[in-house]
Structure 1
Amino acid sequence: MTIWSGNSSDLMRCGVECAKEQYCVSLLYDKTTGSCKLFSVVFDSDESGNIDYWILNQESTRWESCQELASCSGITTDGEYWIYPTAINGRRTKIYCHNLASTPLHYVTLKYPNRFIQHDKLNLINGLECLSDFKGPLNSLDFSKVRIQIENMEVIGSDYTFASLNGSPYIQYGQALDCNGQALRHPCPHFGNATINVRETGLALDPTMVFGLVMGYSAEIRDFIRSDDGTKISFSCAGWCAKCGPTTGPIRFQRSKEFSMFLVFVKSFLFRC
């Protein structure tokens, strides 16, 4: 809800400016300068439902990348920052800036499990297809953060800086691999599966991306599900062997339609290049 304050014939003009800001909740017209001061608020909710609010300084510098943040402000502390990538029309996005003191890299902090499983021939029993059991544990990847190329919001799936590796998987973020048996054989259990989940990051998956069979013999992608809001994709992979994942190029993020962006911390800086 927008709260109007002040008393001026130009209040309507300020109201129009406030309406253009996604998180603007109030404004104040300055008669002396004839200017509008807008107040934007974002909030963070914890597991107990408690809500904390942060007022964002509208005049704070809008950095387009972590490199720009570091070079313009002199900040060298890794952490979560508001970045305004040109690839999503300069919309405010929470990005984890890594290696700010040297070569800044961009990551998205994931709120929910993002897991990718590789069942290869090392997991087979006596090298036979379609057994109901397998030699564990399976090779897997669990990502807490995923690296992106800020210029185009493409995922760099082979970066495992913030991934927990079980075994020696050679798949990437967004892929699954299965070698338990040919897809046409029934019954034949398959163990390779993938879960991509960017809910509550302020981002969604590009809806034009196509997922399917990347490589494999007698193979196919199965149980493919894409959430209506575009924040989650899951699927399984079946083959002898089969690798499944995006077939139209790297995974790409775009701005989601979620209203709330969950914030670890927000800082307003007045640095300029």
Structure 2
Amino acid sequence: MVMVQSLATDVLESVKMVPFVIKLLPVLTVLATIHLPPKSVLLRSFNINVTGTFFKMQLDRTFIKSMFVAACISTTYSFKEFNYRKTGSGAPAVLDDPQHLQVQEVFGPTTCAILCSRLSCKEFQYSDTSHLCITRHSDAVSGNSVNPGSGFFDTFIDNKEDPKTCSEIKKENPAAHSGEYTIVPSAPQFRGMSVKVFCLMNDTHQLEYVTLPNENVGSYPKRSNGGCGHEVLYLPAAAVGKDGVTVYQKIRIIPSTMTVVRDDTTFTTGTKAEPHPFGRAEDCYSYKGNCKRIGTFHIDTQGTGMKFARGLRWTGDGYASKVDSVTRTHDGAVIDLVCGGWCAGCVPMEDMVLYPNSQDIQS
């Protein structure tokens, strides 16, 4: 009885899936013609009484058996059609980045493959024992936890290659112009997740940039207090013309690592003659170690779906340089730096690498 109910449920689900039904009907026809006695009736009664959203289905044992065999044949055929490749097996399921996972109970791996192919999904896991299907999506689709229980899961990935760089997009479509596109960076921390980037398309090269919805700005104040005794509203001779602000609209990234190219100032505006490298705060305020520093840089990656590592650190760079403060808010998506020295500042101690931010959605 449990088997009948499970099969009936999957039949209803399959009716909604046109590719599956198209494949299933010819197989059923062949089975009815070849495998069954001439006078037998494959389907004694298939009555559908519609009352609101309720369906009553009466299936005989012959139909159930035929449907089961047909589903098995369809499973093998569908995997070729949907072009999924098995990459491994194991227990328990792989649950990294759970906000990108969705767990459903299905009839078999074909149904799981169909669900994956209809959604923003490039990878799924299926368990023969529990009939659970875990689809991994490019976008966040759930909360921060899923519980598929224990069991042995096979992992399948879509053989179709998504563009990993803007160069691949240009190669596929030579007429592609500069603009916003979606890529799947090969950086390991993204595990097949899609990222929206701005592709700067030229005939000779194509570069990737992340558009920053919020203000990212560095400020080099026109103030100084060399001996930390009296502040003046001008700079020492060595710093004249270095003051001003730099506002970043986009930052360039390397898709293979998602590292920011800090000295690319293509998409910046501001009043500073020599723009700040991204993530550098600087001033020419004081040479005294006990005096405050007033150079600032404000980083805000909210709306990009990404953030920098929580462990990213800054260090002084230049004469009498000092890191006054590094303040993180919004789960690390916003970082405020206060640094400076005597015409000096602070820089990141490591590469500025972007990671998925499960608390944020791309704008």
- TM-score of the alignment, normalized to the shorter chain, above 0.5: yes
- Corresponding residue for residue 90 of structure 1: 192
| Farther-moved stretch of structure 1 (162-171 vs 75-84) | 162-171
- Corresponding residue for residue 252 of structure 1: 353
Partners of 2:219 and 2:194 lie apart in 1 by 33
- State yes or no: 1:200 paired with 2:303: yes
Q: Does structure 1 conserve the Cα–Cα contact (< 8 Å) formed by 2:225 and 2:231?
A: no
Q: Does structure 1 conserve the Cα–Cα contact (< 8 Å) formed by 2:318 and 2:341?
A: no
Q: CA deviation at 1:231?
A: 1.4
* Equivalent residue for 1:243, pick from 345, 356, 360: 345
Amino acid at match of 2:300: N
* Equivalent residue for 2:247, pick from 142, 151, 155: 142
Q: Percent identity?
A: 21
Q: 1:199 to 1:146 in 2, by over 3 A?
A: same
Show CA shifts across 1:166-186 (max 9, x none): 131353110011111135345
Q: CA deviation at 1:110?
A: 0.3
Where is the strand percentage greater, Structure 1 or Structure 2? 1
* Equivalent residue for 1:132, pick from 231, 243, 251: 231
Q: Does structure 1 conserve the Cα–Cα contact (< 8 Å) formed by 2:302 and 2:360?
A: no
SS in 2 for 1:106: strand
Map 1:1-273; keep pairs closer than 5 Å.
Answer: 6-7=13-14, 22=100, 36-38=114-116, 39-40=118-119, 62-87=162-187, 88-119=190-221, 123=222, 131-135=230-234, 138-169=243-274, 171-186=276-291, 190-217=293-320, 219-227=321-329, 229-248=331-350, 250-258=351-359, 260-262=361-363
Q: 1:34 to 1:179 in 2, by over 3 A?
A: closer
Q: Does structure 2 conserve the Cα–Cα contact (< 8 Å) formed by 1:223 and 1:236?
A: yes
SS in 2 for 1:77: coil
Q: CA deviation at 1:211?
A: 1.2
Q: CA deviation at 1:106?
A: 0.5
Q: Does structure 2 conserve the Cα–Cα contact (< 8 Å) formed by 1:70 and 1:101?
A: no
Q: 1:177 to 1:232 in 2, by over 3 A?
A: same
Which structure has the larger Rg? 2
**Structure 2 unmatched ranges of 5 or more:** 1-9, 15-66, 76-92, 121-137, 140-157, 236-240
Q: CA deviation at 1:35?
A: 5.5
| Farther-moved stretch of structure 1 (127-136 vs 86-95) | 127-136
Matched pairs, number: 235
SS in 2 for 1:223: strand
TM-score, normalised with respect to structure 2: 0.54
Q: CA deviation at 1:252?
A: 1.2
Show CA shifts across 1:238-265 (max 9, x none): 32233112022x3111121135322xxx
**Structure 1 unmatched ranges of 5 or more:** 44-57, 263-273
SS in 2 for 1:67: helix
Amino acid at match of 2:213: K
Partners of 2:175 and 2:105 lie apart in 1 by 30
Partners of 1:90 and 1:215 lie apart in 2 by 40
SS in 1 for 2:266: coil
Partners of 2:175 and 2:106 lie apart in 1 by 31
SS in 2 for 1:68: helix
Partners of 2:300 and 2:284 lie apart in 1 by 25
Amino acid at match of 2:183: I
Q: CA deviation at 1:78?
A: 1.2
Q: 1:60 to 1:192 in 2, by over 3 A?
A: same
Show CA shifts across 1:32-90 (max 9, x none): 999614433799xxxxxxxxxxxxxx998511111111112334211111110111322
Higher RCO (CA < 8 A, seq sep 6+): 1
Q: Does structure 1 conserve the Cα–Cα contact (< 8 Å) formed by 2:198 and 2:210?
A: yes
Partners of 2:199 and 2:345 lie apart in 1 by 31
Q: Does structure 1 conserve the Cα–Cα contact (< 8 Å) formed by 2:211 and 2:304?
A: yes
Where is the helix percentage greater, Structure 1 or Structure 2? 2
SS in 1 for 2:169: helix
Q: 1:145 to 1:33 in 2, by over 3 A?
A: closer
